[in-house]
Structure 1
Amino acid sequence: MSYLDTTKDIYKDAALTPNVGLCCTTNPIWELPGLKIPKIMQEMNYGCGSTVHPRDLTNNPKILYVGVGGGMELLQFAYFSRQKNGVVGVDVVDEMLEASRINFEEAEKLNPWFKSEFVDLRKGDALALPLEDNSIDVAAQNCLFNIFKEDDLKAAISEMYRVLKPHGRLVMSDPICEQPMNEALRNDERLRALCLSGSIPIKDYVKLLTDAGFGTIEIRARKPYRVLNPKHYNTEELIYIESIEVAAIKDPMPKDGPCIFTGRAAIYFGDTEYFDDGKGHILFKNQPLAICDKTANALKNLQRDDLYISESTWHYDGGGCC
């Protein structure tokens, strides 16, 4: 039995018997005006953050969500879409798809605006998505990619890239870990299925996305998530795991490499009204400008005494240099 079979079994059980402690989302359950989330969906919120960002969801986008869980984020996406089959939910576990269908019936009772037909539930594998090329505006996954080993992870990212339209975005929440893990942890199929021992460093995570062709990467949040301690896990040192929220945008790859936003900013405080670096970046006096890491390094190399370049905050909310 492969590690993916173990994963299917765990989430089959989680579909049949909701497991509140299966994952530990770092986000509160927010409810927009007129949006009521059934309790059962909250109990089946098997993620480590949120992939629902209103600024991604303008102009009636076609949305894909892979790994449906109890349907909570599908319902949140449908709040912005409100059209038949506007949201596609894909899962490989039959029991999870059926649980979501039942949960949507409960959501209809609580939300007069919602119809189950807004969500198109499909049996399918993240490694071979049942969608056409260039057909999706916003794709999302929450605490799913962390389960995959490297070759499967590359395939899953490639599939998301394939189905996205040009300039479409892949929005994700996954655990990361900057510490090395021993092979016993890495090969523990249950810990991998629980989105723990598959955690990789953020630079490796980003490289997988840019290697797939995504030209713009936004690190939107980085938060504490879990610890693996020697008392309860097969490790000699305490392992600290964080969760990140990331958007990878299917922009053309710039000739000088991807634009990776990690929450850095530039502030010009010179004697003139603005500073123009001659490369498309204009900084008005005393007004912070969000910049990608590539631009941050280029501005630092100018060695000006009237420019301040901040370090990464790992929080980026749009706008800026690119």
Structure 2
Amino acid sequence: MSYLDTTYNVYREAALTPDVGLCCTTNPIWELPGLKIPKIMQEMNYGCGSTVHMRDLSNNPKMLYVGVGGGMELLQFAYFNRQPGGVTGIDMVDEMLEASHQNFKLAEEMNPWFKSDFVSLKKGDALNLPVEDNSIDVAAQNCLFNIFKAEDLKKAIAEMYRVLKPHGRLVMSDPTCEQPMNETLRNDDRLRALCLSGSLPIVEYVKALTDAGFGTIEIRARKPYRILDPKNYPTGERIYIESIEVAAIKDPMPPDGPCVFTGKAAIYYGEDKFFDDQKGHVLGKNQPLAICDKTAAALSSLGREDIFISESTFHYDGGGCC
């Protein structure tokens, strides 16, 4: 049995018998006017963060969600779209698709604005999406890609890149881990399916996205997720796992490499009203400007004492230099 077969079985079980503790998220449920989320959807929210960000959802984007879970985030996406077929949900597990279908019936009873046909559910594989090229504005996955091993992860990201329109957004939440994991953990298929032992360091996670061609990366949040301790897992040391929320934007790749925003800012506090580096970056006096890591390195290399560069906060919400 492959690790993908194990994953299939884990989420088949989770569809038939909802498992509240399967994944955990510290994100509060969206509180929006007229949006009521059925309890069963909350219990089947098998994610580690949120992929729903309002600034991604203007102008009725065509949306794709891979790995539907109980359908909660698809319902949230539909709240902003409200068009037949505006949101497509794809999953390999028949039982999960059926559970989501039933959950949408409950959501329709609770939300006068919602119609089940706002969401189109399809059986499909993240490694071979049944979606046309360049047809999606916003694609999302929550706590799925961390399960994939290296070659499959490469395929899954390439598929998302393929279906996105130019400047489209891939919005994700996944566990990450900066500590090394032993091979016993890495090769435990069930722990991988449970979104624990496949976690990558953030640098490797971002590189997988930029290698696929995404020219802009935004790290929007970084939060505590889980602990793997020696008493309960095959490890000789405590391992700390976090979750991150990321948007990868299908912008053209700049000649000098991708723009990766990790929450850094530059503040000019010199004698002039502003500082202009003659490369498109103008810093108003004592006005913080969000900058990508590439720009942060370039400004730091100037050696100026009147420009402060912050450390990465891993919280970026737009308005940056690129």
TM band (smaller chain): over 0.9
SS in 2 for 1:58: coil
Do 1:31 and 1:37's aligned partners in 2 also have CA atoms closer than 8 Å? no
TM-score, normalised by the number of residues in structure 2: 1.00
How big is the alpha-carbon RMSD for the aligned residues of Structure 1 and Structure 2? Answer: 0.4
Q: Which residue of 1 aligns with 2:150?
A: 150
Q: Which residue of 2 aligns with 1:38?
A: 38
Q: CA deviation at 1:83?
A: 0.1
Once structures 1 and 2 are overlaid, which stretch shifts more, 221-230 or 22-31?
22-31
Where in structure 2 are the equivalents of 1:127-138 lying within 5 Å?
127-138=127-138
In 1, Cα distance between the equivalents of 2:98 and 2:132?
24
In 2, Cα distance between the equivalents of 1:185 and 1:148?
14
**Is residue 22 of structure 1 aligned with residue 22 of structure 2?**
yes
In 2, Cα distance between the equivalents of 1:31 and 1:119?
20
Aligned length: 322
SS in 2 for 1:10: helix
Q: CA deviation at 1:109?
A: 0.6
**Is residue 227 of structure 1 aligned with residue 227 of structure 2?**
yes
Where in structure 2 are the equivalents of 1:263-302 lying within 5 Å?
263-302=263-302
Where in structure 2 are the equivalents of 1:208-219 lying within 5 Å?
208-219=208-219
Q: CA deviation at 1:180?
A: 0.5
Q: Which amino acid aligns with 1:67?
A: G
* Structure 1 stretches of 4+ moved >6 Å: none
In 2, Cα distance between the equivalents of 1:196 and 1:142?
14
Structure 1 unaligned regions, length at least 5: none
Q: CA deviation at 1:31?
A: 2.3
Where in structure 2 are the equivalents of 1:172-191 lying within 5 Å?
172-191=172-191
Q: Which residue of 1 aligns with 2:124?
A: 124
Where in structure 2 are the equivalents of 1:1-322 lying within 5 Å?
1-322=1-322
In 1, Cα distance between the equivalents of 2:6 and 2:281?
50
In 1, Cα distance between the equivalents of 2:126 and 2:250?
18
Q: CA deviation at 1:161?
A: 0.2
SS in 2 for 1:4: helix
TM-score, normalised by the number of residues in structure 1: 1.00
Q: CA deviation at 1:272?
A: 1.1
Q: Which amino acid aligns with 1:7?
A: T
SS in 2 for 1:255: coil
Structure 2 unaligned regions, length at least 5: none
Once structures 1 and 2 are overlaid, which stretch shifts more, 300-309 or 22-31?
22-31
Q: CA deviation at 1:305?
A: 1.3
Q: Which amino acid aligns with 1:72?
A: M
Q: Which amino acid aligns with 1:60?
A: N
In 1, Cα distance between the equivalents of 2:297 and 2:49?
30
In 1, Cα distance between the equivalents of 2:29 and 2:14?
19
Q: Which amino acid aligns with 1:227?
A: I
Q: CA deviation at 1:28?
A: 1.3
